[in-house]
């Protein structure tokens, strides 16, 4: 943020306010702007110092997702025949754009010490990920989704077809259909972990008492002191946020690959495609880096 430009932009308003209210002082207001800038710089430095491994994985994932969003509309891995929406790939490309931008927003908020706000977006990202998995696996759900062309129709369709319990049930069914019935333990773990994470993030999004209370302070492992986090401050709570973000993108990648093969009979373009090759290379780098980082954490 250009604080000097901001100061110029509100100078007239501040001047008028000072003339009206004797308690206001131009230096007091400037001090607040300076504090905002200082907080931002300190939070970013602390985040880069303490979260550099998870942040590196996140930025790599975001680069991959961005390339994927462009690649999907180019190579068209999702079917457009046999009852599938003729714009399936364009629709999925747009959702992947949102997945990419949500992920980037979460990382930027974490860097600036706004972890609770990042968690609110993380819940929205959960919904976007569930959405693209469902509509690429169920042609009727793709068609239902595309009927939401305005506020009223979108609300009506969401209420009828995309309620939380319905989505949870469909995701489990899709996982089962894609082969997870062969590993019952993994299947049950995914369902339990997803429900637990979504329940917690919903508490954050809905402003639960305990999340608003704890989210107003920075927390550090093995320390009782919790400094006030007004205007943003680094917190170790961001470790969870980035771990969930990176896991969610990893999960989405695995699921989309399985859906393309089993549902859409797509294993790659018929002819050599440079865009596709770059995208798959980025995908493999992300997957390998994510797993390597996970293994390091488990050893520690």
Q: Check whether residue 128 and residue 10 sit in a common domain.
A: no
Query: Using H for helix, E for strand and C for coil, what is the string for 184-222?
Result: HHHHHHHHHHHHHHHHHHHHHHCCCHHHHHHCCECCCCC
Q: What is the pLDDT of residue 157?
A: 95
Q: Check whether residue 37 and residue 61 sit in a common domain.
A: no
Q: Check whether residue 42 and residue 188 sit in a common domain.
A: no
Q: What is the pLDDT of residue 17?
A: 67
Q: Check whether residue 71 and residue 43 sit in a common domain.
A: no
Q: Check whether residue 142 and residue 193 sit in a common domain.
A: yes
Structural domain count of the chain? 2
Mean pLDDT per 10-residue segment, the chain (300 residues) = 59 68 71 85 95 96 96 94 94 98 98 97 97 97 95 95 94 91 82 91 95 93 86 94 96 96 93 92 96 76
Q: Check whether residue 101 and residue 139 sit in a common domain.
A: yes
Q: Check whether residue 19 and residue 110 sit in a common domain.
A: no
Tokens of 243: 């771990």
Q: Check whether residue 239 and residue 271 sit in a common domain.
A: yes
Query: Using H for helix, E for strand and C for coil, what is the string for 23-68?
Result: CCCHHHHHHHHHHHHHHHHHHHHHHHHHCHHHHHHHHHHHHHHHHH
Q: Check whether residue 61 and residue 18 sit in a common domain.
A: no
Q: Check whether residue 100 and residue 240 sit in a common domain.
A: yes
Q: Check whether residue 133 and residue 192 sit in a common domain.
A: yes
Q: Check whether residue 133 and residue 224 sit in a common domain.
A: yes
CA–CA separation, 276 and 274 (whole Å) = 5
> Packing angle between helix 238-262 and helix 115-137, nearest 10 degrees?
10
Q: What is the pLDDT of residue 144?
A: 95
- Domain span holding position 14: 1-50
């Amino acid at each position: 943020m250009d604080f000097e430009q901001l100061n110029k932009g509100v100078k007239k308003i501040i001047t008028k306010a000072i003339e009206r209210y004797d308690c206001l002082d131009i230096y007091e207001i400037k001090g607040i702007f300076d504090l905002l800038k200082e907080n931002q710089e300190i939070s970013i430095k602390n985040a880069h110092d303490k979260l550099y491994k998870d942040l590196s994985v996140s930025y790599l994932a975001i680069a991959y997702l961005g390339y994927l969003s462009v690649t999907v509309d180019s190579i068209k891995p999702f079917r457009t025949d046999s009852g599938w929406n003729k714009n399936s790939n364009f629709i999925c490309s747009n959702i992947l754009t949102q997945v990419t931008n949500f992920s980037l927003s979460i990382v930027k908020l974490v860097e600036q010490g706004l972890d609770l706000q990042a968690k609110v977006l993380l819940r929205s990202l959960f919904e976007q990920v569930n959405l693209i998995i469902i509509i690429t696996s169920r042609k009727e759900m793709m068609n239902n989704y595309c009927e939401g062309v305005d506020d009223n129709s979108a609300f009506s369709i969401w209420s009828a077809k995309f309620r939380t319990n319905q989505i949870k049930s469909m995701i489990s069914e899709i996982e089962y259909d894609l082969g997870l019935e062969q590993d019952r333990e993994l299947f049950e773990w995914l369902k339990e972990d997803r429900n637990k994470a979504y329940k917690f993030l919903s508490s954050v999004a809905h402003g639960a008492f305990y999340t608003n209370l704890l989210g107003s302070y920075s927390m550090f492992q093995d320390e009782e002191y919790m400094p006030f986090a007004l205007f943003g401050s680094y917190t170790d709570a961001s470790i969870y946020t980035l771990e969930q973000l990176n896991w969610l993108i990893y999960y989405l990648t695995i699921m989309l690959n399985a859906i393309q093969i089993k549902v859409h009979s797509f294993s790659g373009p018929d002819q050599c495609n440079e865009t596709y090759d770059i995208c798959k290379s980025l995908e493999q780098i992300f997957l390998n880096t994510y797993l390597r980082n996970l293994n390091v954490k488990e050893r520690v």
